Each structure stands twice: as structure tokens, then as C-alpha cells.
Structure 1
């Protein structure tokens, strides 16, 4: 890093904002929707349902694949 002129101080944190994020007035519709769907009780429920759906999709694909792999000729 190059030396700086005397009396000039550099702060690498000057553009870092401290806080929990944008206020509800500043947040866009998508940000509010994302915040609502990804946190709290609703978010946990959606993650659980998504996990169950993924499990059944993988299970059914495995069943179909196994059927054709082990099918008698």
C-alpha cells in the first residue's frame, strides 16, 4: 500500500453500514416477501414442506430407475 499524505487518515470501514438492514419503508416488495417467507414460523414450515417434497421426488425417481435397472428381460 502506498504511503499517504500526512494528516490524511483512511478508514476501511467507512462504507460499512451497521444495522439490521433496510427499514420497512426502504425495503422493496421482494425484500419484504423474502424476509417474511424465509424467517419465523412460516419460513420453517416452508423449508420443512420443501424438504419433504424433495425427498418424495428423489424417492420416486429412484424407484422408477430401480425398476428399469432390475427389470427381468
Structure 2
């Protein structure tokens, strides 16, 4: 066991600040990446990615085959 000195107080304060910094990020993760909302976000993201690939292919095919 360590004695209750200056070093242990500084460590406890640093550790407390570190824990408080991660609270907001974990709430955003829980809200946007899990449950029904997470499934909807992933589905919409997948649809946007597929649509983007289709659009790039369509424009590329147009310019390649227009002659």
C-alpha cells in the first residue's frame, strides 16, 4: 500500500479527470451505435455508400461509352 502523500493525490485527480472526459463520448456511442437507432444509422450509411458507388459508376460509364 502506498502512503497518503502528494503523489497519490495527484494521481487520483488525474484519474478522475480522465474518467470525466470519456463520459460524453460513451453517451454518443450508446445513442448512435446501438439498438434500433444504430441499425438505422448503419442502414442509411450503407445506402449512401451504395448510391455513391452507383453514381460514380454511372458517370464514369457515360464518359467512357459516349463515343
TM-score (norm 2): 0.64
More helix by share: 2
Structure 2 Cα separation of the partners of residues 34 and 28 of structure 1: 10
The Cα shift of 1:53 comes to 0.7
Moved over 6 A (4+): none
Aligned to 1:48: 43
Consecutive unaligned residues of structure 1, counting only runs of 5 or more, are 1-25
Aligned partners of 1:69, 1:31: CA distance in 2, in Å? Answer: 47
1:62 maps onto 2:57 in alignment: yes
Q: Secondary structure at the match of 2:57?
A: helix
Q: Structure 2 unaligned segments of length 5 or more: list them.
A: 1-19
Report the counterpart of residue 32 of structure 2 in structure 1. 37
CA distance in 2, matches of 1:69, 1:35: 45
| Residue 6 (structure 1) aligns with | none
Aligned equivalents of 2:63 and 2:23: distance in 1? 49
Match of 1:7 in 2: none
The whole-number CA distance in structure 1 between the counterparts of 2:43 and 2:49 is: 10
